[in-house]
Amino acid sequence: MTPADQTPREDPSTITSQPRPATTGTRATSGRRSEAARLAVLNAADDLLVEHGFEALTIEGIAAAAGVAKQTIYRWWKSKVDILFDNLVLDAETALAWPEPADLRAYVHRYARFLAEQPAGQVLLALLGHAQLDRRTAELLHDGFLDGLRARDVTQVRELLGLDEEAAAVLLDALLAPLYHRVLVLRRPLDTDFVTAVLDTTLDQHLPR
């Protein structure tokens, strides 16, 4: 196992992660990995992606912006995709958490806001785009994030509405497909009215009173 594989990538069936060893606090410079460097890289990559886009994002640029040596990046990540992926997993954990108490309509609205407005949403869209162009990215994104996210959501919907797995998956897809379609294909804004309309139409149809 090469060092680049040691980046903690948790169980794909969940998106909870990072039991980071609770470093002392600031500069954990030693024989072990520097938390400061890790965070600097993740943040620099995020900032540069939002500011200049995926194409203009380079390892050299990230290294320079993070004040880190290029080799420090290559030691822990294989590519800029891996860096963005780590960012995605990190941020999605909170940004895509289910509301308490569980509420499907609120969750879909939160999902829409995540896709349309939040930096981590930008990261997901960029990775989804790149996944169309690169098999490795597609596998990483699905095995490491999307599949686990969907499994979690299907379970939630099942418990919430008392559906079987098949029906819950169909309902979830029916709710999310218009969202993804609107941002990925139509490139139109995911305003609240649209999400509400999707919810009304779809829930009426799947959950007749």
Partner DNA sequence: CAATAACCGAGACGGTACGTCTTGTCTTGCG
Partner DNA sequence: CGCAAGACAAGACGTACCGTCTCGGTTATTG
Which DSSP string corresponds to the chain? Answer: --GGG-S----TT-----------SS---SSSPPHHHHHHHHHHHHHHHHHH-STT--HHHHHHHHT--HHHHHHH-SSHHHHHHHHHHHHHHHHTPPPSS--HHHHHHHHHHHHHH-HHHHHHHHHHHHHTT-HHHHHHHIIIIIHHHHHHHHHHHHHHHT--HHHHHHHHHHHHHHHHIIIIII-----HHHHHHHHHHHHHHHS--
Nearer to a copy of itself, 155 or 201 (CB): 201
69 binds a copy of itself (CB under 8 A): no
Q: Report the residue number, 82 or 153, with the smaller CB distance to DNA.
A: 82
Which listed option, a copy of itself, DNA, none, makes contact with residue 65 (CB within 5 to 8 Å by class)? Answer: none
Residues 48, 66: Cα–Cα separation, whole Å = 10
* Per-residue binding letters, 99-128, with a copy of itself (x by CB under 8 A): --------------------------xx-x
Q: Write the binding mask 165 to 204 for a copy of itself: x where contact by CB under 8 A, - elsewhere.
A: --------xx-xxx-xxx-xxxx-------------x---
| 37 is a site residue for DNA (CB under 7 A) | yes
Please state the closest distance from residue 139 (CB atom) to a copy of itself, in A: 9
- Residue 176 site contact among a copy of itself, DNA, none (CB < 5 to 8 Å, cut-off depends on kind): a copy of itself
Residues at the site binding DNA, with contacts judged by CB under 7 A: 3, 24, 28-34, 37-38, 40, 56, 58-61, 67-72, 74-76, 79-80
Residues at the site binding a copy of itself, with contacts judged by CB under 8 A: 53-55, 125-126, 128-135, 138, 142, 146, 173-174, 176-178, 180-182, 184-187, 201, 205
